[in-house]
A and B are shown apart, each in its own frame.
Chain A
Amino acid sequence: MMVQAVKGEAMLGDRRFIVTMLLPTFFFLICFYAYPFFFNIENSFTDLSLFGLRDGGEWIGVANYMELLASPDFRRVLWNTVIWLTVIGVAVRIILGLALALLLSSRTIRKYGLATVCRVLLIVPWATPPIVAILIWRWMLDPRTGAINSSLMSLGLIDQPVAFLATAAWVWPAIITIITWNTLPLVTLTFMASLQSLPEELIEAAEVDGASRMQVLRYVYLPHLKPAIIIMVLMSTFWTFNNFIYVWLTTGAGPGLYTNVMATEVYIKAFVEGRMGYSSAVGVIMATIMTFFGLIYLRVIAEREMKEVFQDGR
């Protein structure tokens, strides 16, 4: 009886402790994520306009969603966001990051004591805030004074400067270059950190067994790096999918609407055209896609790195 009472009190104390510790987090999450999200859902069923913000919008049911699903512009926005920005953008980053990490972790680089220098230099683009990165690259890609055009011209590869950010064939590669430049170091350094825990003997053993370079890569390096690759793919995906400023400050979703993505579509509809109801509907779709993706992410971290954390208790 006594014991039970003490235990009960301890549990109550424990519960109070748990609630107190989580309270600040939830204060921020509810104010910042939950409330605005429900506000968005509500707006997406209205014709709220920027000019009628004071009076609120009129309930129009699912009209915004119908319009959106029927719109060819929205299909392009989806295509741009999913394929160009996210799939291609993330794939380029992971593949280059992998290649660079293997390169910088190679025996040759270590033999000549270059590893530290490389690592320090890798920090430079990473520490460059995106807004600065965009300013720099907008200049680099500029047709008149930019470094890329002037070097290509002086090498004789082109005879007229190319407006990279205003040409259909170049604009997506250019945006992806900017994002890759800015985010590649994080991916590379993470892979390098993971490679440090790969025992050298394992590689040597494989080589003694006569494995070719490709085989070592496939059967030794990649399995070891797999968890890091998965985490990087997941995180890069939601960092990129949700990002607004890379596209907006680089091309303003142009030329035309050629590089319009979901984040810029939300912005244009709400703040350029003033259609806040429609913009909210785009936002809800955007959040829904990311929630599905987030569930995959949760599954991965629940199964891999944070198994115990995801265990309920009584």
Chain B
Amino acid sequence: MAVDRTYGLARRSARTLLAEVAIIGTTLLSLFFLVYPTAWVIIASFRTPETMFAAGNFQFTLNNYRTLLNSEFTGAIFNSMMLCLVSVIVSTFVSVIAAYVFSRKRFRWKSIIFGSVMLGQTFPWIILVTPMFILFAKLGLLNSHLGMIFVYVAITIPFSTYLLVGYLESVPRSLDEAAIIDGCSQFQVIWKIIFPIMLPGIVATATYAFLLCWSEYLFALAFLTDTTKKTMPLMLAGYFGENVVEWGNVMAGSVLTTLPTLLLFLPLQARMTSGLAAGSVKQ
């Protein structure tokens, strides 16, 4: 009996061990597949273009970065940073106040109005290029950062509003109602009550908006032709030229383009996904 039991346990633990090995093995394999491409680019960015594709021959160099940072790319880093920060601040502010109204107020045609904002998420941007180009030309907004900020605020509002309304729905209404009874104005409620409570959600929303803006290519391609105004994705695509691929620039530029989002995502990751999941968990 005892022997039997030990045998059974051993067999079971052997099976568990096998399952564990399988699980860990599969996990490591998937992670390798997911991390390898980016990791390879990071390593390649420190290799000389001549040895970049050779398997064993590794020659360490910082020249790729030196060349890149001495070129117009530095301006593009600044442009991207500036454009995205301003756009994200504006778009988040606009979305927060709209989300507050959608979440807390009742008014006529609300479902239609809110629905039309949400439908913005499903809109194909490609068809906007020509009309926006003509509109911007009339307003003198081509080759202008102001115009790009307008675009980036507009493309981020629908998704930001969606996320923020989701977050707000999880903030008890009693909180702001109490504040109103205490004599706060509606603006004060948003600023003093809602904003601090929602801050984690707002940060997560802003991060999504930042990623969207940071990697945007289509509008920047059509609206920015002045080299000094271009953003990082545009410059990067430019290194994949028609006659030459400047591999050193491509690799170093790719790393510099990925780094900010990576650094931003590391501390915020849990918050960002719980937001998307939270909305859908409530039933």
A109–B73 CA distance with the chains assembled, in angstroms: 42
A252 to B: closest C-beta gap in Å: 12
* Cross-chain contact B254 with A290 (CB below 8 angstroms): no
* Cross-chain contact A305 with B169 (CB below 8 angstroms): yes
* Cross-chain contact B155 with A249 (CB below 8 angstroms): no
Q: Does A260 contact B (CB under 8 A)?
A: no
* Given A36-B135, A140-B37: A311 and B166 interface contact (C-beta under 8 Å): no
* A181 proximity list for chain B (CB < 8 A): 33-34, 37
* Cross-chain contact A123 with B265 (CB below 8 angstroms): yes
Q: Is the interface of B mostly helix, strand, loop or mixed?
A: helix
B128 and chain A: residue at smallest CB distance: A36
The one of B110, B237, B269, B272 in contact with A249, judged by C-beta atoms closer than 8 angstroms, is B237
Q: Is the interface of A mostly helix, strand, loop or mixed?
A: helix
A197–B281 CA distance with the chains assembled, in angstroms: 8
* Cross-chain contact A40 with B280 (CB below 8 angstroms): no
B236 and chain A: residue at smallest CB distance: A131
* Cross-chain contact A25 with B279 (CB below 8 angstroms): no
Total A-B contacts with CB atoms under 8 angstroms apart: 295
**Chain A positions 18-74 with a Cβ under 8 Å from a chain B Cβ:** 18, 21-22, 24-25, 28-29, 31-33, 35-37, 39-40, 43
Q: Does B183 contact A (CB under 8 A)?
A: no
Q: Does B174 contact A (CB under 8 A)?
A: no
B119 to A: closest C-beta gap in Å: 4
**Chain B positions 104-162 with a Cβ under 8 Å from a chain A Cβ:** 105-111, 113-128, 130-132, 134-135, 150-151, 153-155, 157-158, 161-162
A61–B117 CA distance with the chains assembled, in angstroms: 31
A43 to B: closest C-beta gap in Å: 8
Select the stretch in B2-10, B16-24, B59-67 that faces chain A. B16-24
A211–B53 CA distance with the chains assembled, in angstroms: 52
* Given A140-B37, A245-B217, A310-B111: A109 and B106 interface contact (C-beta under 8 Å): no
A39–B36 CA distance with the chains assembled, in angstroms: 45
* Given A21-B100, A28-B150: A124 and B35 interface contact (C-beta under 8 Å): yes
* Cross-chain contact B120 with A29 (CB below 8 angstroms): yes
Interface residues in B, total, Cβ within 8 A: 99
A15–B94 CA distance with the chains assembled, in angstroms: 18
Q: Does B30 contact A (CB under 8 A)?
A: yes
B92 to A: closest C-beta gap in Å: 12
* Cross-chain contact B127 with A40 (CB below 8 angstroms): yes
B263 and chain A: residue at smallest CB distance: A127
* B121 proximity list for chain A (CB < 8 A): 235, 238, 294, 297
* A124 proximity list for chain B (CB < 8 A): 34-35, 38-39, 262
* A147 proximity list for chain B (CB < 8 A): 36, 40
Q: Does B1 contact A (CB under 8 A)?
A: no
B110 and chain A: residue at smallest CB distance: A312
* Cross-chain contact B151 with A112 (CB below 8 angstroms): no
The one of B24, B113, B132, B281 in contact with A32, judged by C-beta atoms closer than 8 angstroms, is B132
Top-3 shortest CB links A-B: A313-B106, A283-B127, A36-B131
